[in-house]
Chains A and B, each alone.
Chain A
Amino acid sequence: MLIELKDVNKTYNNGQPLHVLKGIDLSIDRGEFVSIMGASGSGKSTLLNILGILDNYDTGEYYIDGRLIKGLSERQAADYRNRLIGFIFQSFNLIGFKTAVENVELPLFYQGVGRAKRHQMAMEYLDRLGLAAWAKHYPNEMSGGQKQRVAIARALITQPKIILADEPTGALDSKTSEEVMQLLSQLNREEGVTIIVVTHESGVANCTDKIVHIKDGVIGEIEDNREHRASQFGVNTIMK
């Protein structure tokens, strides 16, 4: 198993203690394309934070590729995020004063890769996503879809074990949303990248092969969706 969560609990202590995750058990295998679905307040964001090593959990165990992720120092956590996980965010989270190619280079910069090498790699990835011509453009000169593709290039460049996408289509129109989801499933199918998508949109979830429902801090149903029939709005559409 690539990802294993065993009885993970998380409580927020802001005045009133809030038990957000109540014993999560979850396993995700290499090469899977999984979505985690839930309404707001269901704990899916907290789960994403823990999966992405952005936040700590209180009890339980979380393994990535057999490595226990617990009680890490900030530096170590940063290093794991850098090497193991690629993030795709709802609001793209590109750095505004850096060009597309500079944004894609950034994770390699934090790995200490030399200037020429990382520039060449970043150009390669942008080219694969059809954005080579936009390399020198700043994020505010690009469309939403283009920005998200730059973000995907940035997530892929370190060849991480997991791609974590947090509402990847949340800021896109339905056509672009479809394109992005197709891109993700293509990456999954053709290159065997493990992708976890966190969403509250059933259409997005329907694009994935497995849907994990989370509600009130516990895992509910785990749907096998290889047929992509989960969406009540029809196959291959994302309803906005």
Chain B
Amino acid sequence: MRDLFTEIWESIRRNKMRTCLTGFAVSWGIFMLIVLLGAGNGLMNAFMVGGEDIATNTMQIGGGRTSKPYDGLKEGRRIRLDDRDVELTGGELFSDHVDQVISTVSTSVTVNYGKKHFSGLMEGNFPARQEMEKIEVRYGRFINEKDIRDSRKVVVLSENQVENLLGGGTRDTGARFATLSFGSESGRKTDVASLLGEYVRIGTFSYRVVGITKSDRMSDDNLFFAPYTTVKTIYGKGQEIDDITFTFHGLDSEAENEAFEEQYRAAVNLRHRAAPDDNRAIWIWNRFTQNLQMNKGRNILSTALWIIGLFTLLGGIVGVSNIMLITVKERTHEFGIRKAIGASPWSIMKLILAESVTITAFFGYVGMLLGMIACLVLDKTVGQSTMSVMDEQIAMLVDPGVDLGVALGATVVLIVAGTLAGIFPARRASRVRPIEALRAE
């Protein structure tokens, strides 16, 4: 092995300049591959922020408008979900798949504390919601069973909402990201936890703040939570509810999910006298299939980036192959001598292949390293900026970079590429006839 590398080193040392120029093409290819994949990952991460925490086996149902006439009723009729839909969902019919069903009611309110206030959406909710949505409570607690039973007047606010109430003056929610883009709690000017146990005024009643949730970039910061029963009682919602969320099991493929959705939709639609196949009468958000599609999209993007990267690398490989051919041509006489004194064809082939792999791998790793540095730079620059899409601030890139798997994959690619680049010149070298040795230089 050491002998082999000595030989390779001798050969490369004699052609530093052209080896470096060729190597540059390989470095560039791998650099592009890593940067593309890293930026692609950052882009996907930006879409997925917050999303990855949510339990994926949930569906959310909301009322819509009918799009077809049915049962003597015209289209365009508004469908409102009510308690009996909850019963239907949790009942016999779907017990094979549905686990836990909760419903929410919500109402727009203004929350006052001292002279400060903000307007938001108060959502009457159940304790189970926390688990389903993976809501992170920073201080205090979430709604509990006792709150529900006693219809207590308690609320769970988000960090940003609390901050608005404590510090930054009257703010409408649109400005909330001004604080957010400066980062984590260390940047918060106010002691958020101090509002815990205090009372805020909503409408004519006082509510006790029992919990403060973490604000993240994706969740709707208008929203805060109160016990389901409280909201329902105070705002007189009667039977009506806003949406139903349930967890399910045993639906593992897209087809299974679709079949279930169809069945479920038909059942709920019929209860509301809408056509069973009217898919606008109620809305179904299936997180599981959404997630599947997201992953599919992610895979397509990453495959596309790999292909682009590999094609860029191909240029480098052709370069290496070319330079190895020239090397072989230059060394024909030498290979003839080696063969005359007993070198087997394989030993000559090995020499060229190993040189090709060494050049590709070395310069490839340089490119990989530079690519990873570029990803870090991206993270520090573009990764920190946000852009405004439809009044929402969205980070452009989150954690761009590649994982170990990609680095290992790229290593395999490099070795395969080096072998491919070397195989043609190596075969040519191994076919040099020993008679070449007798030819005078």
The verdict on B180 contacting chain A, using a C-beta distance below 8 Å, is no
Given contacts A54-B434, A91-B440, A115-B3, contact A110 B337 (CB under 8 A): no
The verdict on A90 contacting chain B, using a C-beta distance below 8 Å, is yes
In the bound complex, CA of A79 to CA of B434 (Å) = 13
With a CB–CB cut-off of 8 A, which chain A residues contact B345? 74-75, 78
Given contacts A93-B337, A95-B334, A110-B347, contact A49 B438 (CB under 8 A): yes
With a CB–CB cut-off of 8 A, which chain A residues contact B10? 97-98
The verdict on B234 contacting chain A, using a C-beta distance below 8 Å, is no
Q: Point out which of B14, B347, B438, B441 has the most chain A C-beta atoms below 10 A from its C-beta.
A: B438
In the bound complex, CA of A166 to CA of B336 (Å) = 15
Task: Tell me which residues from 408 to 441 in chain B have a Cβ below 8 Å from any Cβ of chain A.
Answer: 433-435, 437-438, 440-441
The verdict on B293 contacting chain A, using a C-beta distance below 8 Å, is no
In the bound complex, CA of A49 to CA of B345 (Å) = 18
Question: Is there an interface contact between B342 and A83, defined as CB atoms closer than 8 Å?
Answer: yes
In the bound complex, CA of A91 to CA of B334 (Å) = 12
With a CB–CB cut-off of 8 A, which chain B residues contact A97? 10, 14
Question: Is there an interface contact between B340 and A52, defined as CB atoms closer than 8 Å?
Answer: yes
Question: Is there an interface contact between A74 and B344, defined as CB atoms closer than 8 Å?
Answer: yes
The verdict on B387 contacting chain A, using a C-beta distance below 8 Å, is no
Majority SS of interface residues in chain A? Answer: helix
| 1/0 contact string of A8-52 vs chain B (CB within 8 Å) | 000000000000000000000000000000000000010011001
Question: Is there an interface contact between A107 and B3, defined as CB atoms closer than 8 Å?
Answer: no
Task: Tell me which residues from 38 to 80 in chain A have a Cβ below 8 Å from any Cβ of chain B.
Answer: 45, 48-49, 52, 54-55, 74-75, 77-79
| 1/0 contact string of B191-215 vs chain A (CB within 8 Å) | 0000000000000000000000000
Question: Is there an interface contact between A82 and B435, defined as CB atoms closer than 8 Å?
Answer: no
The verdict on B176 contacting chain A, using a C-beta distance below 8 Å, is no
The verdict on B285 contacting chain A, using a C-beta distance below 8 Å, is no
The verdict on A111 contacting chain B, using a C-beta distance below 8 Å, is yes
In the bound complex, CA of A110 to CA of B344 (Å) = 8
- How many Å from the CB of A55 to the closest CB on chain B? 6
The verdict on A154 contacting chain B, using a C-beta distance below 8 Å, is yes
Question: Is there an interface contact between B346 and A75, defined as CB atoms closer than 8 Å?
Answer: yes
Question: Is there an interface contact between B342 and A107, defined as CB atoms closer than 8 Å?
Answer: yes
The verdict on B138 contacting chain A, using a C-beta distance below 8 Å, is no
6 A-B pairs (CB sep. < 8 Å): A54-B433, A75-B344, A79-B342, A91-B440, A93-B333, A106-B341
* Top 8 A-B pairs, shortest CB-CB distance: A82-B342, A110-B342, A54-B434, A78-B344, A93-B337, A75-B344, A107-B341, A74-B345
Please report A residues at the B interface, Cβ cutoff 8 Å: 45, 48-49, 52, 54-55, 74-75, 77-79, 81-83, 87, 89-91, 93, 95-98, 106-107, 109-111, 115, 154, 158, 166
Please report B residues at the A interface, Cβ cutoff 8 Å: 2-3, 10, 14, 333-334, 337-347, 433-435, 437-438, 440-441
